Structure 1
Amino acid sequence: MNIDKFKQQHVDILQGIASLRRLAHAGVVRNAAEIARGIVSISATIKLHLAVEDRALYPAVARSADADLARTSRAFQDEMDEIARSYEDFARRWNNAGSLERDEAGFRADANIVLRRVHERMQRENRDLYPRIEAM
């Protein structure tokens, strides 16, 4: 199964997270508008990625003859539901400069939790799931 598009979306999302991290380190208030735009941009990619995973990738893997891979894929999908909800809440809270300017500490705390979870999850997919899917 060719999953190059999924892997490229991971690269794009991880680059977006790295950009947000750099902007936040340089000053949340000073870079609030750019951070908000970055969140909106990443959100669009994440929504597309999750939708295609749910509609195409996970169902295809579930039909796989490899029962262990099908179970692993279902576990990844179930786990992603909660991570996606957390990210959606994060994006709604911080997708405008005013929110960032009013609560820099809140943004930093939230970003450290939510973006780290997204980042770690994609790294696990890249390491533990995608190579197995490509091999099927």
Structure 2
Amino acid sequence: MYLELLTDHHASIYALLKQLSGFSSASMLTANAEEASRAISRLAGLLTVHLAAEDKFLYPSLARSEDEHIRTTATHFEEEMGHLASTFLTYKEAWMTPTKIRQNPAACLEATKEVLAALQERLGREDAQLYPLLQD
């Protein structure tokens, strides 16, 4: 049940990542600053819940697993990607309003590409390597 909730979160996050990646130029981002701002806001809300569930509960629980492969995989993932919540918080604070987006759309576009790539990597690796270990 818990794993199903996390995979549902991933699906919703992927949809928002796709929406944000659709703003592929500074001019497109400027023209759609309100829409981009709303997508960042929705992503922030979902990620706050999702990353807290993983970083505060799932990963620490898996690090205590009796299964060595699960334990080492979870520990390795947490060490590599545990910083993502703070990275996203910095991004959100910098770019969540249409005004901030319009003030420097090129920098916003670059920051968006970086944070989306980091999120895609984490989610993809969890989907491919971690979550399958947890299925009964």
Q: Provide TM-score, normalisation by structure 2.
A: 0.90
Taking only aligned residues, the RMSD between alpha carbons, in angstroms, comes to 1.7
Given that 1:61 and 1:133 are in contact with CA atoms closer than 8 Å, whether structure 2 keeps it comes out as no
Is 1:28–2:5 an aligned residue pair? no
User: Does the Cα contact within 8 Å between 1:2 and 1:134 map onto a contact in 2?
Assistant: no
Distance 1:81 1:59 in 2: 11
Moved over 6 A (4+): none
Matched residues, number: 135
Give unmatched runs, 5+ long, in structure 1. Answer: none
Partner of 2:117: 116
Partner of 2:31, secondary structure, is coil
Deviation string, structure 1 residues 105-124 (Cα, Å, up to 9, x no partner) = 00111111111111111001
For 1:110, the aligned partner's letter is: A
Provide the residue aligned with 1:69 in structure 2: 70
Q: Which runs of 5+ in 2 are unaligned?
A: none
2:135 aligned counterpart, secondary structure: helix
- Asked if 1:16 corresponds to 2:39, the answer is no
Q: Report the secondary structure of 1:70's partner residue.
A: helix
Amino acid at match of 2:47: I
Distance in 2 between the 1:86 and 1:34 partners? 22
Amino acid at match of 1:91: K
Deviation at 1:59, TM superposition (A): 2.9
Map of 1:7 onto structure 2: 7
2-side partners of 1:130 and 1:81: how far apart?
16
Distance in 1, matches of 2:59 and 2:111, equals 29
1:76-95 matches, cutoff 5 A = 76-95=77-96
Q: How does 1:52-67 map to 2 (within 5 A)?
A: 52-67=53-68
